[in-house]
Chains A and B, each alone.
Chain A
Amino acid sequence: MPQKPPDGSPPPDDGALPPAALAELTERTFGAYVHVPYCAARCGYCDFNTYTAADLGGALISSVGLTTFVDIAVQEIRLARAVLGETDLPISTVFVGGGTPTLLSADDLARLLSALDAEFGLAANAEVTTEANPESVDPAQLEQLRAAGYTRVSFGMQSDRPHVLAALDRRHTPGRVSEVMRWARKAGFEQVSLDLIYGAPGESEADWAASLRAAVQLGPDHVSAYALTVEEGTKLSRRVRRGELLEPDDDLLADRYLLADEILTAAGLTNYEVSNWSRGPATRCRHNLGYWRGDHWWGFGPGAHSHVGGVRWWNVRHPAEYAARLAAQRSPAAAREELDASTRRVERVMLGVRLAEGLGVAELDEAGLGACADLARSGLIEPGALESGRVRLTRRGRLLTDTVVRALLPD
């Protein structure tokens, strides 16, 4: 059982948005996320909304599977256009995630992009990313994606150590990443990102250091490093509960994080969000920045989340139900939340503080401002930044973001 979606109120059948939300559209950039909910096999730690052949009754190639996915998603793209109206809304960023997007053929991924382009138009210098598992790409596919307009590829490297990859149920070999990296560069991708996971069972500090060094050696433009979290309902959590595996210790994860920051920084990658580092300002993931900055985006595909002008909604999770809704000309949204002004501020604080650019103190109320001095004294936020009106986390503060957010949002 993957994670449960939050509660919310039922959205209208046609997915219509309140005029107030639509009125905000032109104020911020607009992005598109596409969730491809298929994997060849489920990894033991993963609780994302994704399905294997077995989950879908034996074959990924079925009425709700891979072959028809893009056709169905295109219907949602058309619905989105109808809902958002005639506003000129060029897409600044596209992010195709999953699941395993590269299980789709390059043709399908290209069709997806051209459907978005046809309905909305891609902005000049749009960032167009697809996630890719090292074992499921080949040179031709990468060439084709680049030609179709994809500008950025993010590889799920996770680790450079075979036993760690095995513990994570990842099927690629360590050498594979340098190979796919070379193919991506050759295909003309100027932005290549690597995802890493630390704290897996059996991963020593030396293993993690080795993975980090291997990653920076490949010269990525961007690295994301995530602590392994034991999510309820996963195989990993069952093994932890049975006592077969120890839950990763928070102190150890803190050490691993600091090690990552040290090695990545030394290699010229700068931290710009708690878990993200980039070669320079130009290679930050603009799509993900949109999430933290409260920009608008439409999430296409089963279980995808969207945000437009203070309205958040999320789609039904199962591919079959998703397909059925769209076939019946109905919005695939499962539920939505219309945020009031104070909740929107809470979100701005909660999300904005994660970024290295920091949070403007204007977002804080009196109590939140009052907490700043104490946070600075405790070494969780930078005193210098505070003087110039911004709340910026220190290295230690990044590890204690939740503490900082609670302090900034008292009551």
Chain B
Amino acid sequence: MSAAPHLAPGADPAMIRNFCIIAHIDHGKSTLADRMLGVTGVVDARNMRAQYLDRMDIERERGITIKAQNVRLPWRAHDGQDYILHLIDTPGHVDFSYEVSRSLAACEGAVLLVDAAQGIEAQTLANLYLAIENDLTIIPVLNKIDLPAAQPEKYAEEIAAIIGCDPGDVLRVSGKTGQGVPELLNEIVRQVPAPVGNPAGPARAMIFDSVYDIYRGVITYVRVIDGTLTTRDRCLMMSTGASHETLEVGVISPDPHPTGSLSVGEVGYVIPGVKDVRQARVGDTVTTARNPATEMLGGYRDPLPMVYSGLYPIDGSEYPALREALDKLQLNDAALTYEPETSAALGFGFRCGFLGLLHLEIVRERLEREFNLTLISTAPNVVYRVVMEDLSEVTVTNPSDWPGGKIAEVYEPIVDAMLLLPTDFVGAVMELCQGRRGVLKGMDYLSADRVELKYTLPLGEIIFDFFDALKSRTRGYASLDYDQAGEQLADLVKVDILLQGETVDAFSAIVHKDKAYSYGVAMTTKLRELIPRQQFEVPIQAAIGSRIIARENIRAIRKDVLAKCYGGDITRKRKLLEKQKEGKKRMKTIGRVEVPQEAFIAALSTDTGKSTTSK
């Protein structure tokens, strides 16, 4: 089988166009990408699977992209010449802005894709600003023009006002019908600059994604800036200085094709023969051991975890399996951090750092689904900086680490949030933000009926259920994006929950002083319902330090005997006993109190936040 011309090595950089698509969830990015695969002939209609590039089950189910994917598309353009297009598919959620930043750094152009029936959303706007900062050529496109509800004129004007172009320059396509897609590809060829690099210099390629394959080890996706990477040279990771055999180099179209080399401007994959992703880190620069580059490529942000949560196996014997699973996930997920921690209530687990709540949910779901683990996650929290009266400092990523001594000041992380919403909901959203200790920083009308609100908000106030509250208050019409904006002094306290006088570390939370009481009441009430009666009375208390702020009581159980013997049906009786014992196995003992796993799960679910804030 001889390779098609577009898969041959050594493509001329002048004939290459590297681009990505910036879009909001549901605005049809994956459908458009699929359509591009079809129009360029790399996937025929018969083999077309909806959302070809979204490979993970979770991505397909949720309709979002988590991992950056890339694909090489051959295209004979309007000028009759054959071009090579690299589409780098970008993730579509605020949590994954770091992945977006890597994808953007691998491109010269970006398609700004906006739903013609909905207009631009906050997150798209944030990524658009990022692309503009990166000097990418922006090609504005309205999608779903086949929809009856489409208002292309209205939204073309909105886009034109934002990016400063003529409304007539906004392309109109339908990913669903394919209308306008060839024209879009021609515009990409015409407008996006060809990549420029030094073909003769030492090789330098940026890793913009890295996945782990059980057969091949780590597969890195790279964009070559200078020189050539070939299977003849050992590759060298510049951050670690370690070199590895280059097992395979190739391009994706849409299946992997080994090409033996990748040159200036090309996007493809390198298999460095390593089993540990920490040896091929996302963000690293790949060069060759024979002729190494001296300077690493810049432009990447190191992903910083913004939200922490403890992950614990429900079955303690699964702890080693959890560690292994996290090791493997980290191969695919540069933003995931974890370190072992021990909870008196939950046993051995890991304190994990995430980019946000969706990231947490996805990691948890993947651990459960792909690695068959059953997990409890503790209530998410942000990172606090606590300054003691003796001026020493403590960084708190876990409420259990909250210092016991005399605290002088506490700082919490804050974010600059951008909210886009129809004008009708301004009042409701302002009320929500004020309830979350937000400070209004600005208000701009994007059009007659759409407003952009700018708020500074404590990150801790939005990681729990802010999205849900925003959605319900705006019937789903508002969108949100945010960016780290340093820290602020805050009046925060740690609320402990005690069972029979013993603190249950997994239930401790750091909350604003004004919300401590409602948190305490909500948690104690909830636990009273969730914890079964024991042989003795169990007081449940909420406390700040030694001060009790809320109290509930679980009365002692008095009767559990099954009186009848059902005409000698002893088997049924024994099965009941076995079932009870099975249930007890799933209990954690805190002090003398047996707490079912379900109680932890339910108590730690986000409902707690809701009932606290709905007061």
Residues of A that sit less than 8 Å from B by CB: 3, 5-6, 8, 33, 35, 48, 97, 226-227, 229, 250-251, 253-254, 257, 274-275, 288, 291-292, 297, 299, 303-307, 312, 314, 337, 343, 346-347, 350-351, 378, 380, 396, 398-403, 405-406, 409
Contacts and interface: CB of A to CB of B under 8 A. Distances in A.
A250 B573 contact: no
Given A5-B572, A291-B570, A403-B557, 16 more contacts: A35-B567, A226-B563, A226-B564, A254-B558, A275-B564, A291-B568, A297-B568, A304-B568, A305-B570, A307-B568, A307-B570, A351-B573, A398-B561, A401-B562, A406-B581, A409-B577
Contacts of A257: 559
Interface string B550-582: 000001011111111111111111110100110
Given A350-B573, A350-B577, A291 B565 contact: yes
Contacts of A402: 560-562, 577, 580
A178 to B, nearest CB: 25
Among B557, B560, B563, B581, find the residue whose CB has the most chain A CB atoms closer than 10 A.
B563
A250 B555 CA distance: 12
A48 B567 contact: yes
B198 interface: no
Contact of B563 (A5, A274, A288): A274
Contacts of A399: 558-561
B571 A337 contact: yes
A297 to B, nearest CB: 7
A400 B558 contact: yes
A251 B558 contact: yes
Contacts of A292: 565
Interface in B421-450: none
Contact of B584 (A33, A254, A312, A406): A406
Contacts of B559: 227, 250-251, 253-254, 257, 399-400
A230 B345 CA distance: 35
B570 A409 contact: no
CB-based closest 5 A-B pairs: A254-B558, A401-B561, A254-B559, A402-B560, A305-B568
Given A406-B580, A409-B577, A401 B560 contact: yes
Q: Identify whether the interface residues of A are mostly helix, strand, loop, or mixed.
A: mixed
A294 to B, nearest CB: 9
6 contacts: A5-B569, A226-B563, A297-B568, A305-B571, A314-B571, A396-B558
Contacts of B575: 6
Nearest to B562: A402
B561 A305 contact: no
Contacts of A346: 574, 577
Contact of B561 (A6, A35, A314, A400): A400
Among B558, B564, B568, find the residue whose CB has the most chain A CB atoms closer than 10 A.
B568
B606 interface: no
A386 B575 CA distance: 28
B277 to A, nearest CB: 41
Contacts of B567: 33, 35, 48, 97, 299, 303-305
B343 interface: no
B533 to A, nearest CB: 8
Contacts of A33: 567-568
A405 B571 CA distance: 15
A403 B565 contact: no
Nearest to B560: A402
A343 B571 CA distance: 10
Contacts of A401: 560-562
B535 interface: yes
Nearest to A312: B571
B577 A405 contact: yes
Nearest to B583: A406
B319 to A, nearest CB: 21
Given A97-B567, A350-B574, A409 B561 contact: no
A396 B571 CA distance: 26
A8 B563 contact: no
A8 B569 CA distance: 13
B554 to A, nearest CB: 13
Contacts of A378: 535
Contacts of B566: 3, 48, 305
A287 to B, nearest CB: 9
Contacts of A337: 571
Contacts of B560: 250, 399-403
Given A97-B567, A400-B535, A406-B581, A3 B572 contact: yes
B563 A229 contact: yes
A305 B535 contact: no
A312 B565 CA distance: 14
Contacts of A8: 571
Contacts of A97: 567
A343 to B, nearest CB: 7
A195 to B, nearest CB: 11
A305 B566 CA distance: 9
Contact of A343 (B563, B565, B569, B574): B574
A33 B565 CA distance: 13
Contacts of A5: 569, 572
Contacts of A35: 567
Contacts of A405: 577
Given A250-B558, A291-B568, A305-B568, A347 B563 contact: no
A350 B581 CA distance: 13
